Chain A
Amino acid sequence: MKVEHLSAFNFASTDLDPSLFLETAASRLAAGGRAVSYFAVPDRAGHRLVLALAFDREGRLEVYSTLFEGPFRALTPSFPQLHLFEREIYEQSGLKPEGHPWLKPIRFNGQGAVPGLADYFTVHGSQVHEVAVGPVHAGVIEPGHFRFQCHGERVFHLEIMLGYQHRGLERKFIGGPDGRSLHYAETLAGDTTIGHAWAYCGAVEALAAVNAPPRAQALRGIMLELERLASHTGDLGALAGDVAFLPTASFCGRLRGELLNMTALVCGNRFGRNMLKPGGVNFDLDFALAKELKLRLENTYRDVENAVSLLWETGSVTDRFEGTGVVPKEVAEGLGLVGPAARASGVGLDTRRNFPAGPYEGFTLGVSGSGDVYSRAYVRWLEIQKSAELVGGWLDALPEGPVAADCGALKPESAAVSLVEGWRGQICHVALTGRDGKFRHYKITDPSFQNWQALAMALRNGEISDFPLCNKSFNLSYCGRDL
């Protein structure tokens, strides 16, 4: 059923007959649909499978659901983008996707499951060796297990096993919204606070049929783009650090701090916590603050430009970036990649353009690339330029009016899909309400969920010593995926 982005729809009307559901799903996926969410909701004796599809070119959303009590036919063999979704469904509901090629837990959140303890894909041969990295790493990073099948320095296959960060966040939303729901969304992936908080607010506002006032939308836009600026700047610095190129690494580390401080100037928190609320925002900008932000943005942007341009001008850096960790366009489309990683492979997908909402009407961003580390770095630089331009524009012309509207009770027996382009890519929140107008189910898809697969593909036939560089070029979230 065709639904509107950011508006509530009657959940019961998405229901299809089970066999028709699988047929429709297959035909809509074949027609260019991209699964933004696919999950199981407990319903009566069985589970209801819910599939949300996005048709990016038309900016259209479709949602289908059906009731299953037993196994169902896996669509993964034809549509690899469902691979993780179907594994997740099996893990969370016990409905078995029959014919799934690699059905193992993705988060180990079942009874008695030990994270990481599962079968791994192995390659046999006298000179093939296995390298296991993590879940405890040498740096201060999140836990994840990476298993390489190598021949010398060459990687045949990389299998990424996550789930160590699973906190059961989605379950915590059920029965909400309550005082904690927003904060769960904010802390879902700490570096994407604004992105997830906005997606959550979007879902709640859709279900409550409230529109955030224009000034609130612009302020949200400023915060989201500042988050993007800070993360991309930090990542470019970290990429430079990984190839031991000191100048950019040192400067970008400092500049990321400057950008985070700008966020703190508005709401008191460097990551933008407590800035958003359903209905609007908690903090307003006065004239002096807007001027100060604008000044800081200009200064910081100039420094970022200087530091980052060194990357493209230094031969030793471009030599290291080019041709490393290539993700071809077909792979990116096949796996349903999102965000800068997809755009670096030439997939023209950006929620701000394909599903414009709030301040992003008329957003244009043309990016394409060769799918290597260089492209992923360069796409970030293009986005830094665009974000700085957007923030500057909004600061100059903030709409007048209130910064928040009252957000009342949610519509019962409804659902809403909320998409936001976080700095890692498309964030999808799907909220379902029960008869009492409380969340019956809440499904979150962080961009890292799909994009971790891209890292594994990037390493295929690459060099094992390039792994840290490739990893940093995606810079994915562990907790955002493990939820």
Chain B
Amino acid sequence: MEIVKTLFQFLAAALLAPLLPGVINRVKAFFAGRRGQPLGQLYYDLFKLLLKTPVYSRTTTWVFKAGPIIGVASLVTALALLPFAGRPSFFAFEGDFIFLIYLLGLARFATVLAALDTGSAFEGMGASREMQFAVFAEPAFFLGLAALARVTGQPSLAGMFGALTGDTWRTAAPVLALLTASFFIVLLAENSRVPADDPNTHLELTMIHEAMVLDHSGPDLAFILYGASLKLWLFGALICSTVLPRHTGSWASDSALFLLMMFGVAAGVGIVESVIARLRLTKVPFMLITAFAFSALALIFQMGR
């Protein structure tokens, strides 16, 4: 019975992830006084793209075609590691959070290689920026997860979030609050949201993530967009599980609460995007260094506890 539930959780995450960008867009539209695009716009887009025939430049090789597939495959695997509403995940093992970071790294690596394979100046610029920011984002994220492992004394993601309860917040509130802040900053940067990147821009020279995927089309682009929504879900889920370690005991109410919280995080991203401008490109590392400092502080607090 338990396996059916985890399977169900996994499917729910995989199916609901494209809803998050929709929520963000609706929140932004609300702040701008517009009606906004339909909540399920990304589903339509994915469906449309999957039916299209991809176009490949003659200068590209198999690396370019492999990029989106490896990217989406890594993220689907990462999703399987992810606990849902404090419930265990598909497969959990000791130190799986390191594996999760490597999976995200693999997805990035594949995307960057595919971008470089095109030989376009824009894609090269995007790849260079992506790698530069990853250098700052990854340590912040890694250190954050390590601190969480210390707080709960559990070496696996499922264990960490399973062991996290309301009591942990009572005893280690500063640590968890710092981690939440750090994860949120990393979420913004890793998912190319304002203030690190502007998901709405059509200007190649300012893009980061978008610039890397300019040459992809059809199903390849669908994989990339879907992968991006999974990534957003993944970071959102980590934040929700940290902030809301409620276990009512009932699977249904836990899940419902978790989903509500996920949409809350998406709305939070939408609000951030609605009220502040994008950072100058050279200042994004400072933001990520702040996230790193939060994670490091959390770890230090935890060690001293």
Q: Judge whether A131 and B32 touch: CB under 8 Å.
A: no
Assuming the contacts A131-B122, A247-B31, A250-B33, asked whether A465 and B274 have C-beta atoms less than 8 A apart, the reply is no
B202 interfacial contact with A, CB 8 Å: yes
* Set of chain A residues within 8 Å of B128, measured between Cβ atoms: 152
Residue of B nearest to A251 (CB): B33
**In the complex, what's the smallest C-beta–C-beta distance from A252 to chain B, in angstroms?**
11
Bound together, the chains give a CA A244 to CA B194 distance in angstroms of 7
A130 interfacial contact with B, CB 8 Å: yes
* Set of chain A residues within 8 Å of B282, measured between Cβ atoms: 153, 463
Q: Judge whether A244 and B273 touch: CB under 8 Å.
A: yes
B216 interfacial contact with A, CB 8 Å: no
Q: Judge whether A246 and B198 touch: CB under 8 Å.
A: no
A395 interfacial contact with B, CB 8 Å: no
Assuming the contacts A247-B31, A250-B33, asked whether A468 and B122 have C-beta atoms less than 8 A apart, the reply is no
Residue of B nearest to A319 (CB): B280
* Set of chain B residues within 8 Å of A131, measured between Cβ atoms: 121-122, 125, 205
* Set of chain A residues within 8 Å of B277, measured between Cβ atoms: 240, 243-245, 314, 316-317, 319-320
* Set of chain A residues within 8 Å of B198, measured between Cβ atoms: 244
Bound together, the chains give a CA A467 to CA B206 distance in angstroms of 8
**In the complex, what's the smallest C-beta–C-beta distance from A227 to chain B, in angstroms?**
26
**In the complex, what's the smallest C-beta–C-beta distance from A444 to chain B, in angstroms?**
30
Q: Judge whether B121 and A132 touch: CB under 8 Å.
A: yes
**In the complex, what's the smallest C-beta–C-beta distance from B128 to chain A, in angstroms?**
8
Q: Judge whether B276 and A314 touch: CB under 8 Å.
A: yes
**In the complex, what's the smallest C-beta–C-beta distance from A138 to chain B, in angstroms?**
4
Partner of A133, one of B31, B205, B273, B280: B205
Q: Judge whether A250 and B32 touch: CB under 8 Å.
A: yes
Q: Judge whether A250 and B203 touch: CB under 8 Å.
A: no
B195 interfacial contact with A, CB 8 Å: yes
Q: Judge whether B204 and A138 touch: CB under 8 Å.
A: yes
Q: Judge whether A130 and B206 touch: CB under 8 Å.
A: no
**In the complex, what's the smallest C-beta–C-beta distance from A342 to chain B, in angstroms?**
25
Partner of A245, one of B33, B205, B276, B281: B276
A100 interfacial contact with B, CB 8 Å: no
B278 interfacial contact with A, CB 8 Å: yes
Bound together, the chains give a CA A129 to CA B276 distance in angstroms of 33
Interface membership of chain A positions 239-277, coded 1 if the CB is closer than 8 angstroms to chain B and 0 otherwise: 010111111011100100000000000000000000000
* B134-166 interface with A by 8 A CB criterion: none
Interface membership of chain A positions 431-469, coded 1 if the CB is closer than 8 angstroms to chain B and 0 otherwise: 000000000000000000000000000000001111111
B201 interfacial contact with A, CB 8 Å: yes
Bound together, the chains give a CA A412 to CA B183 distance in angstroms of 77
Bound together, the chains give a CA A320 to CA B195 distance in angstroms of 11
A139 interfacial contact with B, CB 8 Å: yes
* Set of chain B residues within 8 Å of A153, measured between Cβ atoms: 281-282
Bound together, the chains give a CA A466 to CA B205 distance in angstroms of 8
**In the complex, what's the smallest C-beta–C-beta distance from B267 to chain A, in angstroms?**
15
Q: Judge whether A138 and B276 touch: CB under 8 Å.
A: no
Bound together, the chains give a CA A97 to CA B275 distance in angstroms of 54
Bound together, the chains give a CA A240 to CA B280 distance in angstroms of 13
B28 interfacial contact with A, CB 8 Å: yes
**In the complex, what's the smallest C-beta–C-beta distance from B197 to chain A, in angstroms?**
9
B279 interfacial contact with A, CB 8 Å: yes
Which of B31, B128, B204 is most buried by chain A, counting CB atoms within 10 A of its CB?
Answer: B204
A-B contact count (CB 8 A): 86
Partner of A244, one of B34, B200, B205: B200
Residue of A nearest to B281 (CB): A465
Q: Judge whether A316 and B204 touch: CB under 8 Å.
A: no
Contact-size category for B: 20 to 34
* Set of chain A residues within 8 Å of B203, measured between Cβ atoms: 138-139, 242, 468
**In the complex, what's the smallest C-beta–C-beta distance from A233 to chain B, in angstroms?**
16
Bound together, the chains give a CA A138 to CA B283 distance in angstroms of 26
Q: Judge whether A247 and B280 touch: CB under 8 Å.
A: no
* Set of chain B residues within 8 Å of A129, measured between Cβ atoms: 121, 124
Q: Judge whether B121 and A130 touch: CB under 8 Å.
A: yes
Bound together, the chains give a CA A465 to CA B198 distance in angstroms of 12
Partner of A465, one of B28, B202, B205, B276: B205
Residue of B nearest to A140 (CB): B202
* Set of chain A residues within 8 Å of B124, measured between Cβ atoms: 129
**In the complex, what's the smallest C-beta–C-beta distance from A294 to chain B, in angstroms?**
25
**In the complex, what's the smallest C-beta–C-beta distance from A123 to chain B, in angstroms?**
14
**In the complex, what's the smallest C-beta–C-beta distance from B204 to chain A, in angstroms?**
6
Partner of A316, one of B28, B274, B276, B281: B276
Bound together, the chains give a CA A254 to CA B195 distance in angstroms of 24
Residue of A nearest to B199 (CB): A244
* Set of chain A residues within 8 Å of B201, measured between Cβ atoms: 242, 244, 468
**In the complex, what's the smallest C-beta–C-beta distance from A373 to chain B, in angstroms?**
11
Bound together, the chains give a CA A215 to CA B200 distance in angstroms of 47
* B264-291 interface with A by 8 A CB criterion: 273-283
Which of B121, B273, B282 is most buried by chain A, counting CB atoms within 10 A of its CB?
Answer: B121
Q: Judge whether A316 and B205 touch: CB under 8 Å.
A: no
Bound together, the chains give a CA A129 to CA B119 distance in angstroms of 12
Bound together, the chains give a CA A242 to CA B198 distance in angstroms of 9
Which of A316, A320, A463 is most buried by chain B, counting CB atoms within 10 A of its CB?
Answer: A316
Bound together, the chains give a CA A99 to CA B283 distance in angstroms of 44
* Set of chain B residues within 8 Å of A240, measured between Cβ atoms: 277
**In the complex, what's the smallest C-beta–C-beta distance from A218 to chain B, in angstroms?**
35
Bound together, the chains give a CA A130 to CA B120 distance in angstroms of 11
Q: Judge whether B281 and A246 touch: CB under 8 Å.
A: no
Q: Judge whether B273 and A139 touch: CB under 8 Å.
A: no
* A98-153 interface with B by 8 A CB criterion: 129-133, 138-139, 152-153
* Set of chain A residues within 8 Å of B205, measured between Cβ atoms: 131, 133, 464-465, 467-468
Bound together, the chains give a CA A250 to CA B29 distance in angstroms of 9
Residue of B nearest to A249 (CB): B32
Interface membership of chain B positions 193-223, coded 1 if the CB is closer than 8 angstroms to chain A and 0 otherwise: 0110010111111100000000000000000
* Set of chain B residues within 8 Å of A152, measured between Cβ atoms: 128
Bound together, the chains give a CA A132 to CA B273 distance in angstroms of 30
* Set of chain A residues within 8 Å of B280, measured between Cβ atoms: 319-320, 324, 463, 465-466
* Set of chain B residues within 8 Å of A247, measured between Cβ atoms: 31-32, 274-275
Which of A131, A254, A465, A468 is most buried by chain B, counting CB atoms within 10 A of its CB?
Answer: A465
Q: Judge whether B278 and A320 touch: CB under 8 Å.
A: yes
Q: Judge whether B274 and A246 touch: CB under 8 Å.
A: yes
List 17 other contacts, CB 8 Å, given A245-B276, A464-B125: A132-B121, A133-B204, A138-B202, A138-B204, A139-B203, A153-B282, A243-B277, A244-B195, A244-B273, A246-B275, A247-B274, A316-B279, A319-B283, A320-B280, A466-B280, A468-B201, A468-B205
Would you give 22 A-B contacts (Cβ < 8 Å), ordered by A?
Answer: A130-B121, A131-B125, A131-B205, A153-B281, A244-B201, A246-B274, A247-B32, A250-B34, A251-B33, A316-B195, A316-B276, A316-B277, A316-B279, A317-B277, A320-B278, A324-B280, A464-B125, A464-B205, A465-B206, A467-B205, A468-B206, A469-B206
Instruction: Give me the interface of B with A, judged by CB distance under 8 Å.
Output: 28, 31-34, 121-122, 124-125, 128, 194-195, 198, 200-206, 273-283
